[in-house]
Amino acid sequence: MREYLLTLCITAAVTYLLTGPVRKFAIVAGAMPEIRARDVHREPTPRLGGIAMFFGLCAGLLVADHLTNLNEVFAKSNEPRALLSGAALIWLIGVLDDKFEIDALIKLGGQMIAAGVMVMQGLTILWLPIPGVGNVALTQWQGTLLTVALVVITINAVNFVDGLDGLAAGMVCIAAGAFFLYSYRIWYSYGIEAAAPATLFAAILMGMCLGFLPHNMHPARIFMGDSGSMLIGLVLAAGAISITGQLDPDALALFTGSEKAAVHQTVPVYIPLLLPLTIIAVPAADLVLAIVRRTWRGQSPFAADRGHLHHRLLEIGHSHSRAVLIMYFWSALIAFGALAYSVNSASMWIVLGVVFLSAIGLVLLLLPRFTPRVPLWAQHFVPPRYRRRRRPAELPAGACAEAAGTTPVAAAATASADAERPPVTAGVTGVNGATAIGPRSRIGKATR
């Protein structure tokens, strides 16, 4: 576990430190497109954040290759090299798209080529665990087509959900966290080395997302662009393919008693191949809905619009931050709910807990304008929008001046200046027509 955490931290640190220089490079290179009709940000923001994420991926793989235990992954498997080859290709396509806005069909072709490159180097689905049936071996063509389809679907699901600040990076990080816990359990609890590459991929993916999130949270200083969204989508798909398509359930049968029981143990992993991804079910659902919606309107499935789930959350009244947190909540509920079910599928408490949390999520969806307030002792630990507004009688000395838009020092200076200023006088006409001079505050209306 320590070596995985070290790899995660190194990946996050490299990604975080490189994002600032990459932002300056993106501004110089002109990778700051004008605001489009479907965008929710108000100011042009540089893209190309995927450059920092890719170098974070390279740093994570390089560090893991020099660690004692993780070095065996590179010695016994060609999957890390296959991942790096496919990631480099998809990253280059994303960089070109962030700069020059290439055609959607060209990007689709590049995604298929990147998936094919990984298949040629051994990262492919060899068999498919099916509940109630057991292990089903796939032919070479079947495995290739299924692998390419899974990679393309996952890449586009992540790309489609990348519409709000911090949304895609946070959701993929949540999915990678659940996936890491599952694959680590298979690797160390059952001693199955075939799960080691997937565990490494998940740890590196978490580091890439965590390192980029501080720069991408609302208001974002830089966007990951297609160079980042397609990259993390490919890494996530590579982990699912590695542990699902190459982990033989017969090995798990030695611990669970039968092959069918072993297949049942892989619930949170084989379901991603069918849905296609339970761990990112929210982006996958958004992808399906977008394709259906655009096809129904007679548009291209790749034509961008403002009908995604996060756009609808904004339309019903949720703020930007609240919409992102709601999407985080549902992603974590589905991913970790599947993980908990795989650990103990016979427990009714897991089902009841998921139902209860789902009800809480529905309440949050129906209360877009509800703003929770924290106690007075926690005012300094939360953003200003969650702080209680004190009444004027409860405000300390000088706070009224701050509420009026001035500081206590400015208010005192103004009062001192008023005291030193001579009283304003006004001329009034007396009884004989003479003009009397005196303070305006002390002279009433003249009478004749």
Residue 145: what pLDDT? 92
Contact in structure between 258 and 122 (CB atoms under 8 Å): no
- Confidence category of residue 218, pLDDT binned at 50, 70, 90: confident
Q: Give per-residue pLDDT as tens, 322-380.
A: 778 877 888 888 878 777 776 766 667 777 887 888 788 777 766 665 555 667 777 77
- H/E segment holding residue 435: strand 435-439
- Amino acid at residue number 265: Q
Is 226 flagged in the annotation as binding? yes
Residue 446: what pLDDT? 40
Residue scoring higher pLDDT (118 or 265): 118
- Spatial distance between the Cα atoms of 211 and 220, rounded to a whole number of angstroms: 14
Residue 87: what pLDDT? 95
Residue 260: what pLDDT? 52
Q: What angle do CA 187, 156, 235 make, to 5 degrees?
A: 25
Question: What's the chain's average pLDDT?
Answer: 75
DSSP code at position 133: T
Spatial CA neighbour of 94 closest among 162, 34, 37: 162
DSSP H helical segments within 316-369, as ranges?
Answer: 320-343, 348-366
Q: What angle do CA 435, 441, 447 make, to 5 degrees?
A: 45
Spatial CA neighbour of 58 closest among 250, 269, 276, 208: 208
Is 248 flagged in the annotation as binding? no
Count CB atoms within 10 A of the CB of residue 374.
Answer: 12
- Spatial distance between the Cα atoms of 358 and 361, rounded to a whole number of angstroms: 5
Count CB atoms within 10 A of the CB of residue 323.
Answer: 25
